Amino acid sequence: MTATDRSLELINTAAQAAADKLAHDIIAYDVSDVLSITDAFLLASAPNDRQVKSIVDEIEERLLKELGVKPVRREGDREARWVLLDYVDIVVHVQHSEERVFYALERLWKDCPELELPADAKATRGKAEEHARLQAAGEAAELGGELR
């Protein structure tokens, strides 16, 4: 069994919405062969809680406006470290970068086929690593300035 056309439409719209809000490392997996409860997972991350919330809000708004769907469940909203949007056909995981590294959902689903995403979403690959590198360089520069 493979993800339905409807699931792919939802995934692509959600992925584009996440990319538009500058999410990092957007990736989607077809989990329909291993799970009976959903067809696909979309994973995205952001370096801070406020951006996680912004990405989640944009995904929810875009899927409602463009495709007329609301999530049947939304979890993790209060802390905004890992928010899950369950649309039955797809499940969207938007995680704080630290949670993304710690839980490593990609490792769990690596045997599932990766779904093709819009170019903007694919362009986000490696952004979390790039952001962490720039942040570390900035902190090192600050520390160097304090030592002078």
pLDDT tens digit sequence for 17-61: 999 999 999 999 999 999 999 999 999 999 999 999 999 999 999
pLDDT tens figures, 91-125: 999 999 999 999 999 999 999 999 999 999 999 98
94 neighbors 27 (Cβ within 8 angstroms): no
pLDDT at 140 over 70: no
Would you tell me how many other CB atoms lie within 10 Å of the CB of residue 25? 20
- pLDDT, residue 42, reads 98
- pLDDT, residue 129, reads 75
Supply the pTM of this predicted model. 0.87
Backbone angles phi, psi at 115, to 5 degrees: -90, 145
